[in-house]
Amino acid sequence: MKTTNEKTEAEAAAKGLEKTIQLKGKNHRELGLAHGKLHVFANDEVFAMLEPNAYTMADNNLRIPRNQYMSYTPDAHIGVGTCIGTTAVWNMKDGFISPSIVGSDIGCGMRVHTTPLHKRDIQDKEVRRALISAIEKYVPTHERTNTNYEDIDIMSVVQHGLKGLPAKYVPNEQWLTHVEQSAFGFDHKALEHLPPRIKRSAHGQLGSLGNGNHFIEIQYLDINEEYSELAEKWGLFDGQVVVMIHSGSRAWGAMVGREHNKVIKEAMHQWGISNPDPNLVYAPIASHEGQMYLNLMYSALNFAVSNRHMIAFGVQQAFRDVFGPEMELPVLYDLMHNYALKEFHRKQPMLVHRKGATRALPPNHFLNTPAYKETGHPALIPGSMGTASYIMVGKDEGLKNFYSICHGAGRARSRRATKQLVTVDQFEQSLRVGSDDEILVNHRSLQDILDECPQAYKDVDQIIDSVVGASLAAVVAKCQPMAAIKGT
């Protein structure tokens, strides 16, 4: 479709951007940049918010040879080397791997557990405060506080993922099957190239939350009537209390990223490869450096999925403290949004990078985990603190974006700008402080987490509207917050 949207073209010209824009469908634009094509999935309002530097960053990414596809989801915003909200694809045979397009928190992702409770069961603030206190007992929220799982071998976890955990930490088989992937295989010899301090840094962090935008949130569901049958198949009901967890690979992933950014940057210098952005590093997949990073990235993915698993294990213990020892919290799903994974598309193996992008496979897609082969898996999309989150399902049309959708609301302003522009009073209003339906938090002072207020993020409803309008995925349930636990 070659028709150009005159309004969008005028907006681009006003921003001084050298690009062509073609409408490919609702909420889908194809931008011709100097070094390739960028697909952007966003409604008009969200598209107009995209920073001009995001296009410069995309064009720098497209300088990497033999790129097969690149896109931004509607939550896209400036990151280091690459925008958060990027999907970028290369052939496995002759393509490239980029730590910058994986992200610094390798394997960061989402997890949701269901409960048999209805929102009325925790409407009392004292019940929710008891849950917050109990969760903090089992899940460290302070950066320097370690967990007490001394019988867990970190090396076994990074080598074997969930299969490396002692049996007593796996409540049932469902905790292993309702995940995007329970273990990522790789050449364990790659671990020999990591500095010894990485194990020391990661020790005691398994099952800890981390800070920044990581959280544990207690929510209740509003089921989309159009998808009520699917929701029932997934074990969801209107008003149901669920727990959403957002965390990643902690020090293990951070150190893998830092070490191999240096290694690949040095290799690029030796190969005579340069890029206008010094923070963008990449290597051929088949190179020694590329293979080393790929293997070690998988070790971080194993840590990340195990970390969320152990956080959830602690959360279940907390719910049992409050509601009794028989309380069970089944896993709905666990997935990642910072990684590069070998997938089969267009009848060939490809390396799909997703940095702040969530895979959303449709029903009957062969890449679905067996538990969700028939229905498609739940795609878990958090909002911002004090706003709704979403549980979605991928659609067949998602093929046009390699089945990638948003990973959240996406930041609208930096942490520093947020602290300068938003007051604690405005944050309190967002959390409805003092009302019966107040969203409780685990911090006495909201000033400490002001940079995570809703005003720091884009409007999540507009982000979801962009995804739904582009026919990438559909909403199954809206998750309304009742209590939030943030790290420090």
382 is in an annotated binding site: yes
Distance (Å, whole) CA 171 – CA 154: 19
| Joined tokens for residue 378 | 């739940």
In 3D space, the residue among 354, 265, 293, 278 whose CA is nearest the CA of residue 97 turns out to be 293
| Joined tokens for residue 39 | 């697909």
* Angle between helix 288-323 and 125-138 (nearest 10): 130
Contacts of 126 (CB under 8 A, 6+ apart): none
407 is catalytic: yes
251 is in an annotated binding site: no
| Joined tokens for residue 80 | 């280091």
In 3D space, the residue among 268, 269, 338, 263 whose CA is nearest the CA of residue 297 turns out to be 338
19 is in an annotated binding site: no
217 is in an annotated binding site: yes
Neighbours of 397 (CB within 10 A): 15
The β-bridge partners of 484 are: 217, 441
**Cβ neighbourhood burial of 380 (10 Å; 0-12, 13-18, 19+):** buried
Terminal-residue alpha carbon distance, the chain: 49
386 is in an annotated binding site: no
409 is in an annotated binding site: yes
Cα dihedral 275, 277, 278, 283, rounded to 10, equals -50
Specify whether the CB–CB gap between 48 and 11 falls below 8 A: yes
385 is in an annotated binding site: yes
Cα dihedral 311, 312, 315, 317, rounded to 10, equals -100
The β-bridge partners of 246 are: 110, 215
Specify whether the CB–CB gap between 355 and 79 falls below 8 A: yes
| Joined tokens for residue 174 | 């469902």
324 is in an annotated binding site: no
Helical (H) or strand (E) element with 350:
strand 348-355
336 is in an annotated binding site: no
| Joined tokens for residue 472 | 């990438």
| Joined tokens for residue 407 | 């990973």
299 is in an annotated binding site: no
Give the active site residue among 77, 113, 178, 407.
Answer: 407
408 is in an annotated binding site: yes
456 is in an annotated binding site: no
> Hey, what amino acid is at 179?
V
407 is in an annotated binding site: yes
246 is in an annotated binding site: yes
Neighbours of 44 (CB within 10 A): 14
Distance (Å, whole) CA 122 – CA 135: 15
Distance (Å, whole) CA 11 – CA 50: 11
368 is in an annotated binding site: no
Please name the residue that has the structure tokens 């409050």: 322
486 is in an annotated binding site: yes
| Joined tokens for residue 453 | 């207020």
* Binding site listing: 105, 213-217, 246, 337-338, 382-385, 389, 407-410, 486
* Binding site listing for Mn(2+): 105, 214, 246, 337
Query: Which residues are known to be catalytic?
Result: 407
* Binding site listing for GMP: 213-217, 337-338, 382-385, 389, 407-410, 486
